[in-house]
Structure 1
Amino acid sequence: MADLFDTSDTVPDTAPRPLADRLRPQSLEDVIGQGQVLGADAPLGVMLEAGTLGSIIFWGPPGVGKTTIARLLADATDLHFVQISAIFTGVPELRKVFDAAKLRRKTGQGTLLFVDEIHRFNKAQQDGFLPHMEDGTILLVGATTENPSFELNAALLSRSQVLVLERLGQEDLELLAQRAESELARELPLETDARRALLEMADGDGRALLNLVEQVMSWKVDAPLDVDALTNRLMKRAAQYDKSGDGHYNLISALHKSVRGSDPDASLYWFARMLEAGEDPRFLARRITRMAVEDIGLADPQAQSVCLQSWETYERLGSPEGELALAQALVYLALAPKSNGVYVAYKGARAAAKKTGSLMPPKHILNAPTRLMKDQGYGAGYAYDHDAEDGFSGQNYFPDEMGRDTYYTPVERGFERELSKRVAYFAKLRAKRDGTT
């Protein structure tokens, strides 16, 4: 009787097989791309050379070879390959997998357990792997499209090495397309630009490319197709994007940093990427407004108003017209003078407030509505600034036990250049009142 989840090939050779399956590499040397983990001096190359393969977590987008590499690692190390998916496997099935691995181990046969979408297992299920990894029952190879730092238990990560697999580049996809043409014994019926467009449609996913190639090869055409003919026949593959996953956070980070870096073109590109992927424009409106507060601040006080007006315009117009208003705000922010002076000052003040606890304000700035409070010295010695020379008393407003501190330091850009002059002016007057100049 075959082992549970045994992946040995039981399909007759005469059965039809998808192109992606027919082109599955038969050795690690045949794997396209991923030299950063498979090269002689890369992590897997070093492990295999030393004969010390340990548990691994592959982190990368779909269609870059995670399953294939895991299978080939089992072949290279004479381990029995077992594949499961966290989506379809529960605790009873896991227990059977572990029991079968234990029986195999007693006969001297090790087990490489490949777990696809491992991040979908909950904490208890992830913890269930640990004793079997520690006693050598299994060598775990997990695959995830999500950031392992956020999705996997620290205990599981501490017993594994995370290896990042990258989306395939254009040269990798071209090589894969050539292998497909060799397998099918004919060339893709595409002009040069159309061929390039087909590779772009795959969006770095090798499996997606082979599916596209197989579809194109099934067409009956009299002459090579141009880009328009190709795109009319094929729908562009949706970009890899999850509103709650890494794609979402990676792109919003790219957008924010492009604005901070004063690059309107890159800002518009990442803005468009998120919209094309289906991001809610209201989320973008909120984040754009946050950028105005965090990165432009008082260097251009108008920036916040521009963002809020653009947000309101979007709410009135809706999509797609309203998105142009958000794009205008984005360009305004990218070209505005930058300052995080207030942002830094706010964080500093919050830290000081947390540290100093419940220190009382100095008595001279406390109101004294009752005689008892006046007797306690509340309000005594308060200097009314409007009556002072230059409209500035220079009194201390920090707690007596704390002393004066400085949080806000304006930058010499935009409107904050004027605020810097005011800060310096009041500092000079304060020193004069204190008699330190």
Structure 2
Amino acid sequence: MADLFDSAAGGDPDDRTERSVRAAPLADRIRPRSLAQVIGQGKVLDRDGPLGAMLAAGSLSSLILWGPPGVGKTTIARLLADETELKFVQISAIFSGVPELRKVFEAAKLRRQQGGGTLLFVDEIHRFNKAQQDSFLPHMEDGTILLVGATTENPSFELNAALLSRAQVIVLKRLSLADLELLAQRAEKEFGRALPLTGAAREALLEMADGDGRAALNLIEQVMAWKLDTPLDPEALSARLMKRAAKYDKSGDEHYNLISALHKSVRGSDPDAALYWLARMLEGGEDPRYLARRITRMAVEDIGLADPAAQRHCLDAWALYERLGSPEGELALGQAVIYLALAPKSNAGYVAYKGARAEAKRTGSLMPPAHILNAPTRLMKEQGYGSGYAYDHDAEDGFSGQNYFPDGMKRPVLYSPVERGFERELKKRLDWFVAQRLKRGG
């Protein structure tokens, strides 16, 4: 990444003309010259980290660098080539196909025959299809290339198993505010002056970068170009800069990460966290109808019969959204999330249903017991259909205690209500039926 640097990394300014310094983007001028200058990825690059340990042992293998934009993937790949004295070759999966790959492999083979090596950096590697990904394998195995792929998507889903088995996945993290502050200080040293911002505005500027070092440098460069007499406060800064939209891929990892966070916050009875993740998804442009469906699913899975009203509340919120639309209808979804988070929790119904499905698969096509089968024809009556059936309304307490499972099947216990919410009452009823069944030998 051309975004995480030491001010000295750009070389001696005296060796460059003022015109060239001004023409080069800030990100390029303070590009790191060593891995030690990379900000924010110490857990990976330190000697005890996975990448640092490989370099220390002199056993660098092919890698997949997985992380959000602007955290150092390209920069780290370039510096790895320098560390290992390999030729750095960069391609993008967006703009490259099989012909381009073939040329790269042929050049790498020639370089290898001449005693050199190649580090092939593939940006957006997840955009290559399975056949294109397979084309790397023989050249990785025979040492023609050392592959370093970069991706913002989960490699488990986007890269095929054969490629993953030959490369180590290195996870890079978004930059913290402290990391971005270090980056700002390096930029200020390069410019030779401080950012024309108050302390609060400085923090607001770094928050706008949303963990993206490249974005932070672009914002800093823009602010440094302004002719100002006094430092700007947050309000004045906001008036001059548009806030970056939060990174949110409605079909990618972020989508699944955030819906998981929302679901688990509801399950964990934290209404504040649940509302936060709901808002994050709405701010990112998520379809409120998708959220209405998932919220209703939470009511069924994690609350169930502990509070039967929860499902109705979600359906009402869904209907309100359909009637009101955005943004008014989104308030109904928010209130449904609060209700779910504070409702008593039980997954007993969910567990019982899954258990029933498992029993159904295990027992196959076992017939119901004959006594609970209807007998509309003489033949069926002769076969014993309906014989011995006890009509529960005629039994004591309206309960006959008969067996309703297939003959010979061991009775499973599927539903075990919890001692929370309405399921306390259901548990009392269930316990009574169990006791009566045992009493009557059913």
Considering the TM-score relative to the shorter chain, is it more than 0.5?
A: yes
Match of 1:233 in 2: 240
Amino acid at match of 1:346: Y
1:189 to 177, 188, 196: 196
Give yes or no for the alignment of 1:90 onto 2:94: no
Match of 1:299 in 2: 306
Match of 1:211 in 2: 218
Give yes or no for the alignment of 1:76 onto 2:80: no
Give yes or no for the alignment of 1:40 onto 2:50: no
Match of 1:101 in 2: 108
Give yes or no for the alignment of 1:170 onto 2:216: no
Match of 1:248 in 2: 255
CA offsets 1:203-250 (integer angstroms, 9 cap, x no match): 000000000000000111110000000011101111111000011110
- The alpha-carbon deviation at position 117 of structure 1 amounts to 0.3
1:408 to 415, 418, 431: 415
Match of 2:209 in 1: 202
**Aligned-partner Cα distance in 1 for 2:387–2:324:** 57
Percent identity, please: 79
**Aligned-partner Cα distance in 2 for 1:63–1:97:** 26
Give yes or no for the alignment of 1:221 onto 2:233: no
Amino acid at match of 2:68: P
Provide the secondary structure at the position in 1 that maps to 2:408: coil
Provide the secondary structure at the position in 2 that maps to 1:297: helix
**Aligned-partner Cα distance in 2 for 1:146–1:392:** 57
Match of 1:272 in 2: 279
Give yes or no for the alignment of 1:63 onto 2:61: no
Map residues 99-138 of structure 1 onto 2, 5 A cutoff: 99-138=106-145
Amino acid at match of 1:422: R
Match of 2:292 in 1: 285
Match of 1:373 in 2: 380
Match of 2:430 in 1: 423
**Aligned-partner Cα distance in 1 for 2:166–2:154:** 17
Provide the secondary structure at the position in 2 that maps to 1:434: coil
- The alpha-carbon deviation at position 82 of structure 1 amounts to 0.2
**Aligned-partner Cα distance in 2 for 1:363–1:270:** 53
1:153 to 157, 160, 169: 160
Q: Point out the more displaced range, 34-43 or 128-137.
A: 34-43
**Aligned-partner Cα distance in 1 for 2:147–2:372:** 66
Match of 1:3 in 2: none
**Aligned-partner Cα distance in 2 for 1:296–1:403:** 29
What count of residue pairs does the alignment treat as equivalent? Answer: 424
Provide the secondary structure at the position in 2 that maps to 1:345: helix
CA offsets 1:62-120 (integer angstroms, 9 cap, x no match): 00000000000000000000000000000000000000000000011000000000000
User: Which ranges in structure 2 are unaligned for 5 or more consecutive residues?
Assistant: 1-15
Amino acid at match of 2:398: G
Q: TM-score of the superposition, structure 2-length normalised? A: 0.95
**Aligned-partner Cα distance in 1 for 2:228–2:287:** 40
- The alpha-carbon deviation at position 404 of structure 1 amounts to 1.2
After the TM superposition, list the runs of 4 or more consecutive aligned residues in structure 1 that deviate by more than 2 angstroms. Answer: 12-15
Amino acid at match of 2:232: L
Provide the secondary structure at the position in 1 that maps to 2:440: helix
**Aligned-partner Cα distance in 2 for 1:236–1:256:** 28
CA offsets 1:392-425 (integer angstroms, 9 cap, x no match): 0101100113121110000000000000000100
**Aligned-partner Cα distance in 2 for 1:162–1:361:** 53
Give yes or no for the alignment of 1:331 onto 2:306: no
Match of 2:319 in 1: 312
**Aligned-partner Cα distance in 2 for 1:354–1:17:** 66
Match of 1:142 in 2: 149
Give yes or no for the alignment of 1:340 onto 2:334: no
**Aligned-partner Cα distance in 2 for 1:316–1:72:** 56
Amino acid at match of 1:342: G
Amino acid at match of 1:199: L
Provide the secondary structure at the position in 1 that maps to 2:89: strand
**Aligned-partner Cα distance in 1 for 2:56–2:169:** 19
- The alpha-carbon deviation at position 36 of structure 1 amounts to 1.4
Amino acid at match of 1:402: M
**Aligned-partner Cα distance in 2 for 1:242–1:367:** 55
**Aligned-partner Cα distance in 1 for 2:378–2:31:** 89
1:361 to 368, 381, 396: 368
**Aligned-partner Cα distance in 2 for 1:401–1:166:** 57
Provide the secondary structure at the position in 2 that maps to 1:163: strand
Provide the secondary structure at the position in 2 that maps to 1:207: helix
Provide the secondary structure at the position in 2 that maps to 1:75: helix
2:399 to 392, 398, 402: 392
**Aligned-partner Cα distance in 2 for 1:336–1:127:** 50
Amino acid at match of 1:414: G
**Aligned-partner Cα distance in 1 for 2:363–2:146:** 52
1:25 to 32, 38, 41: 32
Cα RMSD after superposing both structures: 0.9
Provide the secondary structure at the position in 1 that maps to 2:110: helix
User: Which ranges in structure 1 are unaligned for 5 or more consecutive residues?
Assistant: 1-11
- The alpha-carbon deviation at position 256 of structure 1 amounts to 0.4
Amino acid at match of 1:377: G
**Aligned-partner Cα distance in 1 for 2:236–2:153:** 36
**Aligned-partner Cα distance in 1 for 2:382–2:395:** 25
